[in-house]
Amino acid sequence: MEITDAAKGRHLSLQFQGDVLVGCNSVGWTEHVGAMRGLVEGQIHMGEWKDKLKKDPTQLMAAYIASAQAQNAWNGAADVARRGC
């Protein structure tokens, strides 16, 4: 999936294998390079976020927070599954 903003000289391309981001190219879209790298190197399964990114690749940071950081599954400080209790 790709998005180009020619007026601002920006281009973003995301490559998937299944629901795992396996590559990305970014020109002028540099604010979330760390998230891109984390998703690719971590081989994170994106699940439903793959379809969301097809519609809007600029939502990469939201996808990273939800998928790589698993914050969408956190149930607060009492979440025994995340605390290992």
Range of the domain at 31: 2-74
Residue 29 covered by a domain? yes
Residue 30 covered by a domain? yes
Q: How many structural domains does the chain have? A: 1
pLDDT tens for 26-83 read 999 888 888 889 889 989 888 999 999 999 988 988 999 888 876 555 555 555 554 4
- Residue with the bigger pLDDT between 75 and 1: it is 1
For residue 25, pLDDT over 50 is answered with yes
Q: d(Cα 58, Cα 24) in Å, to the nearest integer?
A: 12
Residue 15 covered by a domain? yes
Residue 81 covered by a domain? no
pLDDT at 51: 94
Residue 31 covered by a domain? yes
Q: Is 45 left (phi over 0), alpha (psi -120 to 50) or beta?
A: beta
pLDDT at 29: 83
pLDDT tens for 3-19 read 999 999 999 999 999 99
